[in-house]
Amino acid sequence: MAALKFARSGLILALASGITLTSNLALADTEKAVFAGGCFWCMEEAFDKIEGVTKTTSGYTGGTTENPTYKEVGGGNTQHAEALEVEYDTDIVDYNDLLYVFWRNIDPFVENRQFCDSGSEYRSALFPLDDAQREAAEASKVAVAEHFGEPIATEINAAATFYPAEEYHQDYHNRNPVRYRLYKNGCGRPDRLEEIWGDEAAPSEVPDA
């Protein structure tokens, strides 16, 4: 009987701990942002490095086709872009921080392409989800243009339905590291980012304010 009471007490304690953990998670203030920067595998890797990013999802947005497939988007007739939905803890990182990461992981000067991938599905674009994000996105684009003294091709599009990509695309850089690295390096992404951004290219953290 004593053993049974101890087991029951342990179960109650475990359940209580679980409830507390769930409550703490529920208190986290998270928001979402959507970015298109060419290959979503590469953008997922870029944002997964950033402290405060709690989840990344590769997918498609900005087009007219409902529930598009990778083959359909790649065919270039859906108007969708390969994109990344980023969920982040606003107590740790904010939208302006994410914009910093976004710009330094793309080539902002080219239209309807990124690195070796061409077509409107590989365009670079921001999809602000509210007025505050739009204002920040527009200000960041102006700042990048002023920094380089050149026109910026990156679009700022209206928010649209985000469709998660097929499961085999999710977390691709971790699931298939060898193939991923061969693609990324063969596409010239690291070299071109360094050419544009220098030491700021593809940051693993955001600078202190």
Per the DSSP assignment, residues forming a β-bridge with 81 are 61
39 annotated active-site: yes
Phi-psi group of 85: left, alpha or beta (phi > 0 → left; psi -120 to 50 → alpha; rest → beta): beta
Say if CB 160 and CB 127 are below 8 A apart: yes
Cα 189 to Cα 33: distance, rounded to the nearest angstrom: 23
Choice among 39, 42, 116, 187 that is catalytic: 39
Contacts of 152 (CB under 8 A, 6+ apart): 108, 109, 141, 144, 145
Is the Cα dihedral 204, 205, 206, 209 positive or negative?
negative
At residue 192, what is the residue type?
R
Contacts of 88 (CB under 8 A, 6+ apart): 30, 31, 32, 33, 50, 52, 53, 54, 94, 98
CA distances from residue 42 to 35, 77, 126 in whole angstroms, order as listed: 12, 23, 16
| Active site positions, annotated | 39
